[in-house]
Structure 1
Amino acid sequence: MRAFQLVGWQQPPELREVPVPEPGPGQVLVKVGGAGACHSDLHLMEAPGPPPGFATEPPFTLGHENAGWVESPGPGVTGFAPGDPVIVYGPWGCGTCANCREGKENYCQTTRGQGGGLGGGHDGGMAEYLLVPAARFLIPLGTLDPRQAAPLSDAGLTSYHAVKRSVHLLGAGSTAVVIGVGGLGQMAVQMVRALSAATTVIAVDTDADKLETARRMGADEVVLPGEDAVTRIKDMTGQQGAQLVLDMVGADPTLRLAAQVARVLGHLTIVGLGGGALPVNFSSPAHECSVASPYWGSLPELMEVITLARQQKIEMLVERFPLESASEAYQLLHDGKIRGRAVITPHP
């Protein structure tokens, strides 16, 4: 089969021929419908060597946002049949530690929640077939199209988890600020709307088209970053700042902005992997503002995300690319030219 693989650090990935995996006991072979292209993949491609805690050396197949159809259940697998549409939970934990027992495999104490295509010692889904190590990582999609639903396993789940932990702050009259409204940030805007009673959602981005998309998805106000961005957001919040600030970029400029517009007793949540550092001192961020950097989400939360998608309460803007055009998709992602999420479709 064909697989889009990272063949070496700081080398461009290549489309290669590799054997089709054979599912062993408890494993499931999935025919890949869609595999999302994520900014974290770009960070891997540009890395001079394995990041801290990384358990995989090239070559390995990229793709940690995956959905498709069951091709072949391994011995002992029940509950799934060939042809079933499924989405793949991405952080593959050990299944036995305390966090995994609670469904929080993203915080596995053994594997650190790294799954296929993202350093967990397994190939990812940018291939015609994906070997999933345990059936518990599969969630039925029902009527959802795997090629459309694939980004829900990361862009959807990560945004959902980041918002859910702060819902108790987002009552009537509250404000949420989403900094960076690409594919991930667009989902975050929708999650604030779907999960909370927040009165005002403010989207911040350098791209006017993305801001317009965010407005269509539920943002009440849009702001271009710059010298007056803090003033505008403070004016919108009665000089108090926002109860929740989600930084979907994580670069130095966005973190500085986030620190300035989060309010006392609020939440500042860093989702983006931009490599910046949050300025922290006695008065910044605001007093008793909680700062967190969540990673992905739990398995039960992905089930909740799928339910929201089935109910048409959230939507993912998807641009599809055949497997042979994966390099083009990543270049467009690097250049900021993907409107929502790029999805590689080995089986269109």
Structure 2
Amino acid sequence: MNMRAMRFTAWQSFPTLEEIERPTPGPGEVLLKVAGAGACHSDVSIFSDFTAETAPGGMNAPFTLGHENSGWIEEVGPGVTGFEKGDAYLVYGPIGCGHCIPCTRGQDTYCQNVATQPYLGIGLGRDGGMAEYVVVPTRNLVALGDADPVAAAPLADAALTPYHAITLAQPVLAKGGATALVIGLGGLGQIAVQILKALTGATIIATDAKEDAMTRAAERGAITVGAGEDQAARIREITGGRGVDAIFDFVGVTPTIKLGQSVLAQGGRLTVVGIAGGEATWSFFTNPYEAVITNTYWGSIADLHEVVSMYQAGQITPDIERFTLDEAPEAYKRMQAGTLSARAVIVP
């Protein structure tokens, strides 16, 4: 039996919609009928930015794209029990070796044996969910219950990534008068505002160059500051001149990192989440005392269970725009052109 899938076939080559054989789940795996597959900027990097020399290991073409996936149980592999056909699940995308210390904690993103792994994850070297069906290890499934699985698909990255960064910053946020800054109000930034609102009592400041993105963030409880020469001064003013306790940069270019550093409070934490290759310059005399500049990548399986709990409770709602599988190429073209105002979700 065949199915259609959005395939990455060669470096610096636009993905193609192809007909391939429907996969069969092996031991410890299930076959999901895909409900939704989020289109992410990481996918664009895979097919447009990298070359064979610069790409991460384990990303060899061809494979099906889609690392933000949800779906319904269609079939179970040998020896698999406890899963009912038709039940909805969200998919944890990263797959590590399974036996190093980070992997045993469910932190497959920080697998110590990543260099020898055959792929980085589902939709990242291994066939992903931008297809009618996808095979997933049972360990990577998070039950959705009655929650809408289509709208849930982006949670696997666009919510998991900010959630992990925010929970690590909780020590500087768990106090009276705490402030947080979200730089970049795309899919991840919008959910970051919602997570901060639900989990902390911090004053949330948000900044972006797009007015409509700032309007949405303001509706979610953020104080917005537009781009401009006095951007840093306006942010500092909101904090009473003290600086921001926890900053989350979802862009990651040198100017946004520099902005974060310029408004960071003593003892604060600047987390660079956006993977744009920006660089930071540090000096003892310019870094606020005991302020930390760090980075995070995705999150753990345990984090994703907690993200789903927030989704089920109505605390986070991803902004999505639905596309059919036939429209998947158009979704990526609009993403490249910057004309998407929500997370594109492919609905096979």
Asked if residue 139 in structure 1 is aligned to residue 145 in structure 2, the reply is no
**Structure 1 residue ranges (4+ consecutive) displaced by more than 3 angstroms after TM superposition:** 50-53
Shift of 1:143: 0.8
Tell me which residue corresponds to 1:149.
152
Out of 127, 132, 152, which is 2:131 matched to? 127
**Aligned residue type for 1:116:** I
Out of 15, 31, 46, which is 2:17 matched to? 15
Shift of 1:58: 1.4
Match of 1:155, SS state, is: coil
Tell me which residue corresponds to 1:77.
80
Out of 338, 341, 344, which is 1:342 matched to? 344
Out of 216, 219, 233, which is 2:219 matched to? 216
Partner Cα separation in structure 1 for residue 332 and residue 43 of structure 2: 9
| Contact kept? 1:255, 1:279, Cα under 8 Å | no
Partner Cα separation in structure 2 for residue 12 and residue 285 of structure 1: 42
**Aligned residue type for 2:292:** S
Residues 117-163 of structure 1, C-alpha deviation per residue, up to 9 Å, x if partnerless? 123xx11111111111x201011100112111000111111010010
| Contact kept? 1:259, 1:279, Cα under 8 Å | no
Asked if residue 287 in structure 1 is aligned to residue 289 in structure 2, the reply is yes
Shift of 1:286: 2.3
Give the direction of change, closer, same or farther, for the CA distance of 1:284–1:13 in structure 2 (3 Å limit). farther
Tell me which residue corresponds to 1:117.
123
Shift of 1:54: 2.1
Tell me which residue corresponds to 2:199.
195
Partner Cα separation in structure 1 for residue 276 and residue 300 of structure 2: 23
Q: Identity rate of aligned residues, in percent?
A: 47
Normalised by the length of structure 2, the TM-score is 0.95
Residues 12-51 of structure 1, C-alpha deviation per residue, up to 9 Å, x if partnerless? 1100111101111111111111000111111112224144
For structure 1, the residue ranges without an aligned partner over 5 or more in a row are: none
Shift of 1:94: 2.1
| Contact kept? 2:59, 2:120, Cα under 8 Å | no
Note the 1:59-70 alignment, pairs <5 A. Answer: 59-70=62-73
Give the direction of change, closer, same or farther, for the CA distance of 1:326–1:285 in structure 2 (3 Å limit). farther
Out of 58, 61, 75, which is 1:58 matched to? 61
Match of 1:92, SS state, is: coil
Asked if residue 207 in structure 1 is aligned to residue 210 in structure 2, the reply is yes
Note the 1:83-122 alignment, pairs <5 A. Answer: 83-111=86-114, 114-119=120-125, 122=126
Shift of 1:318: 0.8
Partner Cα separation in structure 1 for residue 80 and residue 294 of structure 2: 37
- Count of aligned pairs: 341
| Contact kept? 2:90, 2:153, Cα under 8 Å | yes
Tell me which residue corresponds to 1:162.
165
Shift of 1:52: 4.8
For structure 2, the residue ranges without an aligned partner over 5 or more in a row are: none
Out of 238, 242, 245, which is 2:244 matched to? 242
Give the direction of change, closer, same or farther, for the CA distance of 1:141–1:173 in structure 2 (3 Å limit). same
RMSD: 1.4
Match of 2:5, SS state, is: strand
| Contact kept? 1:186, 1:340, Cα under 8 Å | no
Partner Cα separation in structure 1 for residue 188 and residue 72 of structure 2: 25
Shift of 1:338: 2.0
